[in-house]
Structure 1
């Protein structure tokens, strides 16, 4: 079973982190938060966005990027950024890999990207748009990684409540 990891490097907006937390719960994905955070984890906004799913979230926080690396030695990390040379669809996401996203105002620091060019990935966009919303970006890349693993631990079929599909 593919167990994936989403990493948020210094997230700033509680609603984005709450939405991402909800997506992680829905997909069985672990969430890793690298401090400093632009909010407190007990804020109402994060709980509202994560709804009642937040209590079920597998979440770990780290003091900084180095603390994250020390506590996850040998982790295969993909760095999602608008500055990457390759698309997120060009890589094969391994089981237990980590997909990192940067803070909303600045992304992942360029010195980290420079050290990890081979695993830096981007979502294609047109024109001069700065970036997509963070929670949307996480969903796009995470679901591609899950698709590559045939959604192996997920419910693939929906059911009507009052009727049956023909």
Structure 2
């Protein structure tokens, strides 16, 4: 299982998700361009020293990522077709998160093999991307045996 971030805008969220991936032993894909310069300093606040322990792969763009993706692409989206409690995950899924400001473009949304939404109270738009990634990753790992 892997996390993937499509054109993330905020270094702190990327650092938090790198730390999450390292702690749970999953890889993480960063699909560029990113809204900040990639550097150890940019990620130091949230990722701390966990970045060295994480399996981080950077991809020039969506096409480069999609060309090498194996397993299903599971998009976390506010307009998901399947509510998280009803989603069935597989060990080789790639959990894809969109950018904080724009989500993902239509062609990326259409490419997803499964679209998952986290149920929330009415009137609330979305969760922080790092929080959403952690919630869905924990459920996906629970279902697949925390391998």
- Scaled to the shorter chain, the TM-score interval is over 0.9
2:138 to 105, 125, 143: 143
TM-score (ref. length: structure 1): 0.83
Is residue 95 of structure 2 the alignment partner of residue 99 of structure 1? yes
CA RMSD, aligned part only? Answer: 1.5
Q: Distance in 2 between matches of 1:49 and 1:132?
A: 18
Is residue 36 of structure 2 the alignment partner of residue 39 of structure 1? yes
Report runs of 4+ in structure 1 exceeding 4 Å deviation: none
TM-score (ref. length: structure 2): 0.93
Is residue 79 of structure 2 the alignment partner of residue 83 of structure 1? yes
SS of the residue 1:38 aligns to: coil
Unmatched tracts of structure 1, length 5 or more: 153-166
Question: Which structure has the larger Rg over C-alpha atoms?
Answer: 1
Equivalent position of 2:9 in the other structure: 12
SS of the residue 2:39 aligns to: coil
Q: Distance in 1 between matches of 2:79 and 2:87?
A: 16
Unmatched tracts of structure 2, length 5 or more: none
